[in-house]
Every structure is written in C-alpha cells, then in structure tokens.
Structure 1
Amino acid sequence: MTGTQIHTAPPRSRGGRGSTPVSGHARSALRALAASWRRVRAALLLHCGLRLAGIALVGAWGHRKGLGLYEILATRWDSVYYLNIAEHGYSGHMVPACQLGGPTCKLAFFPLYPALIRAVRAATGLPVGWAAWGAALADSLFAAWGIFAVAEKLHGARVALFTVALYAVVPHALVQSMAYTEPVFTALAAWALYAVLTRAWLTAGTLALLAGATRPSGLAVIAAVTLGAAWHLWSTTGGRSAEPLRLPGGHAPGRPRARLYGAVALAPLGWIAFVLWVGHRMRRWDGYFVEQRLWGSTLDGGTFTIQRLRDLFTQPQLSLDYVVVAATVITAVVLLASLALRRPPLSVWIYAAALVLITVGGAGFFHAKARFLLPAFPLLFPLATALARARTTTVYAVLTGTAIASALYSGYLTMVWTHSP
C-alpha cells in the first residue's frame, strides 16, 4: 500500500561549516515545526470554530438545567476514574464505588493521562479537575495539528484542511473537549504516524510507547510503528526499493538499522509494562484481561457487534445514540475499504484498520464504539479528498450542516443520554 504520494517540503540549506550533525538535525526539526505551524494555523482556527459551536450549544443547554460546562465536560462518566487515579493512585478507594469491575476497577484505566493530570496540577496549581480538562483541551489542539501534518504529507494542504474540519464535526466530536483520554491518545497517534512518514523512527517508537500507556487501543499505534519499521527495513534492504534512509534536512543517519530496531523495541513497552504491572497487582499473569472481563469488555471476533447491528432491523424502538453508533460503525468499515483502495502508506492503513478491528471485534459497550473510533482519523481522508474537489457552495453546505448536526447531537449525549458518550 504505497500508492499515496507523499508531499515533501523543498530542500533547505544545511547550515554553517561549524554545525554538527546533531545541531543540524535539531535546527532542521525546529524549522520544520515552525513552518508546519504557519501552515496549520488556518486549519486550527476552522477546527476551533466548528468545535466551539458544539461546546456553546452544550453550555447553553446545560445552563438551562443548572449545569456548567466544567461539570458537564470534566467531572462525569469516565473522567471520574481518571481524576480519582490522579489524586489517589490505583490503591485508593474509588468514590463513588464502581458499578462494574469490582474493587480493582481502576486497574482497567491506563496510567499516562492521570500522570499528565498530576504533572499539569503540579506545574500550574490548578485543581485536579481543571488540570485534567485543560490537559485534554490542549491535547485536542495538538491532535488536530498532528492530523493536519499527516494529511498534508499524504494529500496536500487543502485535503489536510478539510480533514481537520471533518474531525471537528464527527458524531462524537464532543469527546475531544472532555476530560477523556481520546484527545491525548489521538495527539500521540497522529504525531507517531507523522514520525513514521518522515522516517524519524526513534520519535515514532517513543510516541507509540506513550500511546500504549494511554489506552488499550494503543496496540493500533504499536502495530503501525513496528510493522511500518519492519516493512521499511525489508523494502530498503530486500531489493524492493532503492530509497535511501535520510533524516529531515537531508542528513543521512549513521546507523539507520539501529534506529529502526530501536523503534520496534520501544513501541510496545508502555502497553506491555502496564499489563504486566496489573498482572503483578492481581497476582496472576492475565490480571489485566480478567479486569477487562469484569467490566464486560472482551474480544469475540465481532459477534456482539453484528448482533447489535441486527437490532436495527428487529427492534424499532432504539435510542438515537444506538442508531448513530451503528451508522458510525458501518461507515467506518466502508471508509476503511475506500482508504485501502487509495493505497496509503502501510503504517497509516494498519493504524486505521487496527482501530476498526479492535472496535468491531470487541464485545460490550456498544454505545461507546463511535467514541472508540474517534482517533481513526485516516478514515476521513476519502471524505476530505472529495470535499477538497467540491464547489465552494457545497463545502459551506456540508460543513454548516454537519456542524449543526454535531452540535445538536453533542447536546443529546450530555443532556439526554444517560451513559458515557
């Protein structure tokens, strides 16, 4: 899957005679980052504008019910667990008591986001809830930036703009503004994919390590980085490609294979370390998976999902959330097939396919499956490409209509729906 053309920036000068390779690499990275920021600003403004529409509607709806935005977006549902872990660790009692998962229920939640909350609270002095919400909001911007960077690398700036815009108005986009792990995870995943595309292998491995310590679906990032590195190693040494390994700025690394092996070694460490630690805490090697079963979350190859999709045709009295989630899951499968036909880089397709596989193949929490698919932003590339080719009037109509629908649905999820988004 290498049919997608990767857009590259024009070559830049290497610097003065006295520059060392390390300093040259650092300057190249900083220049690339600054240039990326200049290009992404308009997309981020559009993204924020579309997101603010949904937040404003939720705020107005909540105000009528005597609820503030902070209470709605930072102190409910799964946020409660992350706040409790950030304040009391995994050993402290859970208040309120867990309805699922038993006394060890907090062990189902990965540690990076609570650690980030503690770090923000220590640095700013904010209460734990505000630290959690602030970290999530900041990471949602880094996620949008990373999505833009990946889309621009593959399809150019215009498609990248519309990818970021569509990401702001997907059905469960409100989660991007909540004290949840999705903003953090998506930011790490997007920049990990960008690092793979730019052959910054150690950076990709490190980001995959962090993503693996953020959510169970970190496996998708791990697979993208490790298999992407393995494919690149094979294609550059097995005769399929004569492409030289080079770092941004034109510098050839001294030990390209070592960087590739380093990425493969680093990527799974975060996920593995937490699973082993939970096993140690529960005094059985499969402790993490036991905890997941207590929560009702297992892998069944898609049987549960297919049964719930059948309910669309056999149970006419279904909630709006049920219908939207079912439509999102079906659309994700169709978009994954469409993405495959466009032959994206292998790591990009593996990441999207792994997220879809984990979501569809998992049993339990059908109402949350659209949220689980939120980080699968490469699925938006076919839609963004079509939008980039559309007339201006069509673009305005699509973005306005989807923004309104997304805002109304955000209000429904927080004010009407009684479960986690």
Structure 2
Amino acid sequence: MTLTNPATPDTADRPRQAHPADRLRAAAPALLTYAAIRALGLLVLAGWAHLADRSARQLLSQRWDSLWYVRVVEHGYDFTLTAPDGRVLSNMAFFPLLPWLEEGVSRLTPLGPADAGLAVSAVASLAAAWGVFQVVELVYGRRAGLFAVALWAALPVGIVQSMAYSESLFVALAAWALYATLRGNWIAAGLLAALAGLTRPVGLAVAAAVWVGALLALRTGTAAGPRWRLVLGVVLAPLGAAGYVLWVGVRTGSPFFGYLDVQGAWGNGFDGGLAFVRFIGDLVVSTPAAGLALAAGVLVVPWLYWRGVRQGQPAPLLTYCGIVVALALCSSGYFGSKPRLLMPAFPLLLPLALALARAKARLAWTVIAVAAAGAAVYGAFWLHGSGPP
C-alpha cells in the first residue's frame, strides 16, 4: 500500500517494490553527491581552522550542544550548570538516543564519546540522505530525489550534519519512518518514530505523521495486511518522546510539566512566535538590511510549505513538515538556532527539487555548485563564531 498521489508530477521513474540492494544502487548517485558536498564543507572548515590556528575536529565535536551530549555519557542525567543569571541548566533538556549511541561506540572502539558522536553523525547523515532520497523518489521520481538530497546537503547550515549533534540522526529516523508510512509498513514506521522521539522533542511530529497516514489508510480502505500491524505502529510511534518527557517529569517531581520546566530554564518555550517577531522587528530598526533579509528568509518558509500543499505532497509529509516548522518558528529560544531547527523539515525543499529536476542539467548543477560553495564558506565562518548554531 502506498499513500502517494499518482497524479503528482514526474512519476515516470517512480520505484516499485525493490530489493534493498537495488534501492541502494538507485540511491548511489544521490549519496555520492551528498558525500561530495559535505566533504567540500569539511575541507573548507579544515583550511579555515588551520589559518585560524584552531582544531576543526574540536569545532565539530566539542562545542555547544555536543558538549552536553558528552556530559550525559559521562555523568548520566545528574549534571547541572548554573548560568550567570542564576538559572540552573540541566542536561535533561537533551534527549538520550545520541548519547546512548556515543557511549556504545566508545565502549566498542578506542574513540572517546565526542569522537564517537562524530562517527555516529557521519553514518547517520548518509542514512538520512538515503532516507530523504527514498521518500522523494517514491513521491516525485528519482531525479527529484537526487536534487532534494543535494539541496539538503547544501543548506547554509549543512555543516551541522557533520557535527556531533542529533540532527543527522533525527532526520535519518524521521525520513525512513515517513518512507515506511507511505509504504504502509506500520510496525517499522512506529518503531522508527519512537526512536526519533528519543532523539529530539520534535519527534512527536514523526508520530503525528504516522497517525495521519494510518487514519487515511483506514478511511480509504487501503490499509494492507492485518489490522493489528497498523494499530501496533500507531501505539509505538509516540512512545519514545512521551516516555522520555514523562521520565523527566517524574525525576523533577512534576510528571506532566517537568520537562517544560527544564526547557524553560534554558529559555526555551512556545509563545506562538511573538518573541521571534519582536527580535526581527528590533533587528529591522537597528540594522535594516539584516532585519529585512531575515524577514524575507522567514517568509520563504511558509511559501515553500504552501507550494508543497499545491503540489500535492502526501498528508504525512505535510503533517510532519508543518509541525517541525511551527515548533521551529514559534519557539522562544535562541534565535540563531532556528535555521538548524528547520533542517529536519526537508519536505520544504521538494518544490525547489522539482524545479531543478525539470531544468536543464547545466543550470541545475550550477545552482547546486553555487549553493554547496556558499554553504561550505558559511559553515566554516559560523563554527568560528561565538554563538551556538
């Protein structure tokens, strides 16, 4: 059972059910393109770090959030830090799957937790690129899948995909969960959604996508196989995120609000985007060019989402993408992190990927080359700055 719309464009090279080895061969050009773009970013970062007398490895694995994941490995969830303004920052704000993997890799190899995080991200980023390709190929065809992966690799903040951060791991789990949902593989979708929920709080967006896919399958009578598989997938999907949030609540003495309190101490909350609007407004007043550029960039996000709606993206993709975008833009946390928080919303790239897939090859690859070069330079500049991405 497939939940894609057969009337969507560029369907001539859509895949049928295939052996995993065949799927990997089909994805090979996209994965090689992804690896080349990310390698360019790492080479530029290494050169910049050499000129600045800094360590590229340290920039990727031992700054900002990556340090907090290592603290989970080294101290469990008993580590706190007092901020200058008196706020108590707890590492319970960070979901456990990445530090679990870091600990497992460091026990099985000579790598320390920080370097293990880099190894996990390297593998996960390729799995994420493959998952993005599978989803887009299923819906819009192989050429669109190739350009979707290239665009995702060449995002301005694409360097995060190579850091000891949880973005690559989350996108890998989310993309494959969405692919399983579109294929009607409900148990796999539920398990992957649960794991995504153990990676980042936005994992609930993946669970919601599974629920929407299941509801549509029941409504249209297209749910293949025994009904219990669908029910089990729906039940499994939210368990990762809900289980961790409840565990933090029990640890803090407030089962339903404890995790929100932990995030609140970090300055993170959901205010419908009011704080972000004020931030943009202040920036327009103080630095008009930068403020207007940021406002224009933000407006592109809902426009791309609307284009996805008009192009008939499957409901599970729209559900997942919409929740990721809403949580990213409407949270009151550190505003410099919003581009990174939008990175999992890869369905936003589908309208652009389709446009490139239909363009002449020279033009399409020129766009990708320029985007990749810009991302490489910006990523190196970003990591040499003072604020967290």
Q: TM-score, normalised by structure 1?
A: 0.86
| SS of the residue 1:73 aligns to | helix
1:165-180 alignment runs, 5 A limit: 165-180=150-165
1:36-75 alignment runs, 5 A limit: 36-75=23-62
1:200-239 alignment runs, 5 A limit: 200-236=185-221
CA change 1:196–1:131 in 2 (3 A) is same
Selected match of 1:412 from 358, 362, 381 = 381
Corresponding position of 2:276: 305
Return the alpha-carbon distance in structure 2 between the equivalents of residues 139 and 101 of structure 1: 37
Corresponding position of 2:119: 134
Listed one character per residue, the Cα deviations across residues 292-323 of structure 1 (whole Å, up to 9, x for unaligned) are: 1111111111212222233343221787xx77
CA change 1:373–1:197 in 2 (3 A) is same
Match status 1:4 vs 2:2: no
1:101–1:294 CA contact under 8 A, matched in 2: no
1:171–1:324 CA contact under 8 A, matched in 2: no
State, as a whole percentage, how many aligned pairs show the same letter.
38
Return the alpha-carbon distance in structure 2 between the equivalents of residues 161 and 233 of structure 1: 32
Corresponding position of 2:133: 148
Question: Quick one: which amino acid aligns to residue 230 of structure 2?
Answer: L
2:79–2:90 CA contact under 8 A, matched in 1: no
Selected match of 1:289 from 241, 244, 260 = 260
CA change 1:382–1:305 in 2 (3 A) is same
Corresponding position of 1:32: 19
Corresponding position of 1:262: 232
| SS of the residue 1:420 aligns to | coil
Match status 1:348 vs 2:317: yes
Question: Quick one: which amino acid aligns to residue 279 of structure 2?
Answer: R
Listed one character per residue, the Cα deviations across residues 156-184 of structure 1 (whole Å, up to 9, x for unaligned) are: 11000000011111111010000000000
CA change 1:359–1:93 in 2 (3 A) is closer
Match status 1:373 vs 2:342: yes
Return the alpha-carbon distance in structure 2 between the equivalents of residues 347 and 132 of structure 1: 30
Return the alpha-carbon distance in structure 1 between the equivalents of residues 83 and 170 of structure 2: 24
CA change 1:400–1:259 in 2 (3 A) is same
Return the alpha-carbon distance in structure 2 between the equivalents of residues 389 and 312 of structure 1: 38
- Return the offset for 1:363: 1.0
- Return the offset for 1:222: 1.2
Match status 1:191 vs 2:160: no
How many equivalent residue pairs? Answer: 382
Q: TM-score, normalised by structure 2?
A: 0.93
Question: Quick one: which amino acid aligns to residue 135 of structure 2?
Answer: V
Corresponding position of 1:86: 73
- Return the offset for 1:103: 4.0
2:193–2:206 CA contact under 8 A, matched in 1: yes
1:103-114 alignment runs, 5 A limit: 103=88, 105-114=90-99
Return the alpha-carbon distance in structure 1 between the equivalents of residues 143 and 94 of structure 2: 37
Larger Rg: 1
- Return the offset for 1:64: 1.3
CA change 1:8–1:393 in 2 (3 A) is closer
Moved more, 224-233 or 69-78: 224-233
Match status 1:162 vs 2:130: no
Return the alpha-carbon distance in structure 2 between the equivalents of residues 311 and 406 of structure 1: 27
Return the alpha-carbon distance in structure 1 between the equivalents of residues 138 and 84 of structure 2: 45
CA change 1:168–1:179 in 2 (3 A) is same
CA change 1:71–1:264 in 2 (3 A) is same
Return the alpha-carbon distance in structure 2 between the equivalents of residues 10 and 333 of structure 1: 32
| SS of the residue 1:47 aligns to | helix
Selected match of 2:362 from 385, 393, 399 = 393
CA change 1:39–1:205 in 2 (3 A) is same
1:339–1:382 CA contact under 8 A, matched in 2: yes
CA change 1:64–1:346 in 2 (3 A) is same
1:329–1:370 CA contact under 8 A, matched in 2: no
Return the alpha-carbon distance in structure 2 between the equivalents of residues 200 and 357 of structure 1: 27
CA change 1:33–1:372 in 2 (3 A) is same
CA change 1:327–1:113 in 2 (3 A) is farther
2:102–2:113 CA contact under 8 A, matched in 1: yes
1:93-108 alignment runs, 5 A limit: 102-103=87-88, 105-108=90-93
Return the alpha-carbon distance in structure 1 between the equivalents of residues 360 and 122 of structure 2: 32
2:59–2:383 CA contact under 8 A, matched in 1: yes
Listed one character per residue, the Cα deviations across residues 34-76 of structure 1 (whole Å, up to 9, x for unaligned) are: 1111011111111111111111111111111222221010110
**Where does structure 1 differ by over 6 angstroms across 4 or more consecutive aligned residues?**
none
Return the alpha-carbon distance in structure 2 between the equivalents of residues 129 and 100 of structure 1: 28
Return the alpha-carbon distance in structure 1 between the equivalents of residues 299 and 37 of structure 2: 25
1:209–1:222 CA contact under 8 A, matched in 2: yes
Return the alpha-carbon distance in structure 1 between the equivalents of residues 293 and 64 of structure 2: 20
Corresponding position of 2:286: 315
Return the alpha-carbon distance in structure 2 between the equivalents of residues 328 and 32 of structure 1: 41
C-alpha RMSD of the superposition: 2.1
Question: Quick one: which amino acid aligns to residue 265 of structure 2?
Answer: L
- Return the offset for 1:359: 1.0
Identify unmatched segments of 5+ residues in structure 1: 12-30, 237-242, 247-252
